[in-house]
Structure 1
Amino acid sequence: MTDFPFSIVGFDLDGTLCDTAADLGNALNRTLEYAGRQTFPLDVVRRFIGGGSGQMLRNALAESGGYDEAEFKPLQDRLFTYYGEAIAVHSRLYPGGAEMLDALATRGVTVAVATNKREEFARQLLDELGLSPRFATIIGGDTLGPGKAKPAPDMLEEMITRCGGGRAAFVGDTTFDIGAARAAGLPVVAVSFGFHDLPPPLLGADAVIDHFDALVPTLTALG
């Protein structure tokens, strides 16, 4: 099937491809308990996710009384340890995700992940879920160095280069994703089921989908 309008489709990871909130939340709350801070229920944790695990921790610390930079790095290291120990206990593809990836593959589309999650954790998660072989490249928030994570366009530009060039689109769930796609000049689809920092209709995406079975028709229409 060669009439599909995009040769590359990139995905954010947390809140877009996979619901990772429970595992992130468990690691975050273990870190907050260690620091003597209040913990947060899952619906609140979801609000903290989107800019990478470091930003998630900063959001939680700010909401639980503030912090200074001297205490941040040791707590971030502890968060990373906790998360790496239990990264895929509850995390799964969102409903329809496997079928959607299959549908793109049958159309000859190269798929990639561009996430503000650290690359080592993105790879570990996708490895443990058996998903890594599906993706041509996995780019994390630290892959390209400081200042290159979303909403900067660099990760998406690198994604296109690594995938061999061609017309690309991106799929995400936050302003980080939509901002990066806009800066890179790519069409962008938002998912309504992710970890939003704004209501989905206000994210500024070209389209919003409620289920992955709508992605291929939506990208076809955008093309």
Structure 2
Amino acid sequence: MTGIVFDLDGTLIDSAPDIRAAANAVLAAEGRAPLTLAQATHFIGNGASVFVTRMAEAADLPDDPDTHARLLTGFLERYETAVDLTRPYPGVPEALDALAASGHTLGLCTNKPAGPTRAVLAHLGLSGWFKVIVGGDSLPVRKPDPAPLLAAAERLGGAALYVGDSEIDAETAQHAGIPFALFTEGYRKRPAEQIPHDRRFARFGDLPRLAGDLLGSTVS
């Protein structure tokens, strides 16, 4: 049995519309213009606090601890239940089914806080596949520090593959010494060729075969 760990936002789910809606509600309360979807997508990846910092900078809001704390509190209040606009990428449930049926144990390692992670998984009916969830607030550090990924791997009894969509995910896998599969249709900032990876894929229908090839196992 082989553990496979996944990133969440931009990898399994397209959550940028919900994240943008939560951010824009905060900005509206501050009397500021909304973020575009492209801006919100670009700001995702380093956790909620960094997202809020980038949001505030784009809105020309003051860069001070009190303002940041107020914005972060407002954002997290909305983010906790921001699920209505989020969708799994095509083929995700089927790929998870195939991997689990082949004996792989599955986990999540994401910079999304654990509460919103569990909420969106439950809303989308994806919770049952994951034996382990390590969120952005589960440990004192976040990706690209390898500790969250290593913690997820340890709780799975070992992991032979990390699946993600971004430069941060690639760096995390490198630091952890775990092979990395890059989903090319997510929230990466650079061309896929410039992101270190062991395999890459654009369709989740290809992931079970790719994982089987990389791990030397047979996937149903």
Q: What secondary structure does 1:168 align onto?
A: strand
Aligned-residue offset at 1:221: 2.8
Q: Percent identity?
A: 34
Give 1:189's match in structure 2, choosing from 181, 189, 204. Answer: 181
Residue 161 of structure 2 aligns to which amino acid in structure 1?
A: A
CA contact (8 A) 1:9 1:110 kept: yes
Q: What secondary structure does 2:80 align onto?
A: helix
| Residue 170 of structure 2 is aligned to residue 154 of structure 1 | no
CA contact (8 A) 2:146 2:172 kept: yes
Give 1:133's match in structure 2, choosing from 128, 135, 139. Answer: 128
Q: Distance in 2 between matches of 1:173 and 1:62?
A: 25
CA contact (8 A) 1:7 1:168 kept: yes
Q: What secondary structure does 1:102 align onto?
A: helix
Matches within 5 A, 1:77-116: 77-85=73-81, 87-116=82-111
Aligned to 2:200: 208
Matches within 5 A, 1:1-223: 7-65=2-60, 67-85=63-81, 87-145=82-140, 148-165=141-158, 167-223=159-215
Q: What secondary structure does 2:185 align onto?
A: coil
Q: Distance in 1 between matches of 2:157 and 2:96?
A: 19
CA contact (8 A) 2:93 2:126 kept: no
CA displacement, residues 168-199 of structure 1 (integer Å, 9 cap, x when unaligned): 20011112111111111010011111111222
CA displacement, residues 93-114 of structure 1 (integer Å, 9 cap, x when unaligned): 1000011001101110000110
CA contact (8 A) 1:173 1:200 kept: no
CA contact (8 A) 2:80 2:115 kept: no
CA contact (8 A) 2:111 2:143 kept: yes
Q: Distance in 2 between matches of 1:60 and 1:75?
A: 9
Q: Distance in 1 between matches of 2:10 and 2:36?
A: 17
CA contact (8 A) 2:114 2:138 kept: yes
CA RMSD of aligned residues (A): 1.4
Q: What secondary structure does 1:10 align onto?
A: strand
CA displacement, residues 28-61 of structure 1 (integer Å, 9 cap, x when unaligned): 1111121222212212211111112222121121
Q: What secondary structure does 2:111 align onto?
A: coil
CA contact (8 A) 2:167 2:195 kept: yes
Residue 69 of structure 1 aligns to which amino acid in structure 2?
A: P
Q: What TM-score does the superposition give when structure 1 sets the normalisation length?
A: 0.91
Q: Distance in 2 between matches of 1:23 and 1:79?
A: 11
Q: Distance in 2 between matches of 1:189 and 1:131?
A: 20
Aligned to 2:218: none
Q: Which runs of 5+ in 2 are unaligned?
A: 216-220
Q: What secondary structure does 2:136 align onto?
A: coil
Q: Which runs of 5+ in 1 are unaligned?
A: 1-5
CA contact (8 A) 1:22 1:91 kept: yes
Runs of 4 or more, structure 1, over 6 Å off, are: none
